[in-house]
């Protein structure tokens, strides 16, 4: 096994990163940054140390691979919902209890500090706020502990920035101590959350834009861990393209537009009737998984009279990437151009459905998912989202039927993959 493949395997084993989503070019660049400039003998020695232990070379590789993209009050709706929930419901019901929150991964700290400011704005006294923040990257944690930020950390246009929580300094803005004292920052791996189990349950967990980089094994572990860590009435905030995955794992979406929040529901037990727990990559990434699966021979499992799925149209991958980055408007516009150009593809309609659902336009979302299912009746992503939408409006029977169809669809797709490998 060459060094790139070996490093990718370790990143998957130790951190749960998906080699397919990560990409070999990312690993190559990271390795070059860590050991590429050394002489041949030193390079071999460093490579050996990197593969053998979690030492300095390994940590440098992690720092190069991890994506620390964040800013204060990123996607403002989750913080607006948190503030209103604490003010109107949690605080009246808990007049003396401490509010516990967890942010993982916390990257360079903007998110946990935003949570702290939000809770202070909601009227909680500093002595009743405890926020744990963790990440696997030493580089980003060092920045979080310093608490000084430049212009790129203040990108939210909602006007949510609070001058009173910052002090101007030569390097930019420094978070005031009244906020930094609320946050305990430490190093932790999403695949090892034992230290947080000792402090649980948490009233709110922010685990956003992490699952889109993980493989199936890691996603399943993280979803199970979040269930253990979250208070029975607590809120889990996730990324817009990850909400579907947590719903598959038994979480229930909260009806607050664009908050991408959910609560603990009943864990799914029967794969055939409830759909597979933690089986996809998230909304946009799930489309890529579906496209990959439909390349397998599906004739034996296709219901009689169902249409064969067309090849993925050019441009869909770009639309998915835009959605994963949060540019929903750009992703939707690209999907509409694909349809105007003659692409009658279920994945295009499904992505438009995800985008509509994300911005609270439930009627359009259902219409898009139904169009996807008209083209491909066993389209897994659309079946799963229709199940969630039906559950939200109280149509439990339809929700159950859609989830059952989703489970059968995935089982059939996996069976076709087995046939292909024989």
Span 374-401, pLDDT tens digits = 899 888 888 878 877 886 677 777 877 8
Work out the average pLDDT over 72-86: 94
Specify the pLDDT at position 413. Answer: 56
Contacts of 238 (CB under 8 A, 6+ apart): 207, 208, 211, 245, 246, 260, 261, 262
Span 214-251, pLDDT tens digits = 888 898 999 999 999 999 999 999 987 688 778 878 89
Q: Domains plus CATH for the chain?
A: 3-65 (no CATH), 77-264 (3.40.50.150), 272-421 (1.25.40.10)
Specify the pLDDT at position 249. Answer: 85
Specify the pLDDT at position 49. Answer: 77
Span 188-224, pLDDT tens digits = 999 999 999 999 999 999 999 888 788 888 989 999 9
Confidence band for 178, pLDDT divided at 50, 70 and 90: very high
Specify the pLDDT at position 307. Answer: 39
Do 240 and 225 contact (CB within 8 A), yes or no? no
Span 296-328, pLDDT tens digits = 333 333 333 333 444 556 688 888 878 866 788
Span 91-119, pLDDT tens digits = 999 999 999 999 999 999 999 999 999 99
User: Looking at the predicted structure, is the pLDDT value of residue 141 above 90?
Assistant: yes
């Amino acid at each position: 096994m060459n060094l790139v493949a070996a490093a990718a395997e370790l990143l998957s084993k130790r951190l749960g990163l998906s080699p397919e989503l990560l990409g070999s070019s990312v690993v190559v660049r990271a390795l070059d940054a860590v050991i590429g400039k050394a002489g041949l003998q030193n390079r071999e020695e460093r490579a050996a140390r990197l593969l053998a232990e979690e030492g300095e070379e390994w940590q440098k590789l992690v720092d190069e691979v991890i994506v620390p993209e964040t800013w204060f009050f990123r996607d403002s709706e989750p913080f607006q919902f948190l503030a209103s929930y604490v003010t109107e419901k949690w605080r009246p019901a808990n007049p003396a209890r401490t509010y516990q929150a967890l942010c993982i991964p916390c990257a360079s700290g903007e998110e946990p500090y935003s949570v702290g400011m939000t809770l202070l704005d909601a009227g909680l006294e500093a002595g009743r706020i405890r926020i744990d923040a963790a990440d696997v990257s030493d580089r980003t944690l060092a920045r979080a502990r310093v608490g000084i930020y430049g212009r790129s950390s203040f990108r939210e246009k909602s006007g949510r920035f609070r001058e009173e929580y910052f002090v101007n300094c030569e390097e930019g803005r420094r978070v005031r101590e009244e906020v930094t004292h609320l946050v305990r920052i430490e190093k932790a791996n999403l695949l090892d959350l034992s230290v947080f189990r000792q402090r649980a349950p948490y009233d709110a967990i922010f685990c956003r834009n992490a699952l889109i980089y993980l493989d199936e094994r890691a996603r399943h572990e993280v979803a199970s861990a979040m269930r253990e860590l979250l208070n029975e009435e607590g809120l889990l905030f996730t990324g817009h393209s990850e909400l579907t995955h947590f719903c598959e794992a038994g979480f229930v979406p909260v009806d607050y537009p664009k908050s991408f929040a959910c609560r603990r529901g009943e864990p799914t037990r029967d794969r055939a009737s409830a759909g597979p727990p933690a089986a996809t990559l998230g909304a946009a990434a799930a489309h890529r998984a579906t496209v990959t699966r439909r390349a397998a021979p599906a004739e034996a499992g296709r219901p009689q009279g169902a249409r064969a799925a067309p090849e993925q149209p050019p441009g869909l991958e770009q639309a998915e990437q835009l959605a994963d980055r949060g540019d929903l408007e750009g992703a939707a516009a690209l999907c509409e151009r694909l349809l105007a150009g003659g692409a009658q593809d279920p994945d295009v309609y499904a992505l438009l459905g995800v985008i509509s659902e994300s911005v609270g336009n439930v009627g359009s979302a259902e219409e898009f998912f139904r169009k996807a299912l008209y083209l491909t009746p066993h389209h897994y992503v659309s079946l799963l989202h229709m199940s969630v939408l039906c559950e939200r409006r109280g149509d439990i029977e339809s929700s159950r039927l859609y989830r059952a169809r989703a489970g059968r669809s995935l089982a059939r797709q996996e069976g076709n993959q087995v046939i292909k490998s024989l």
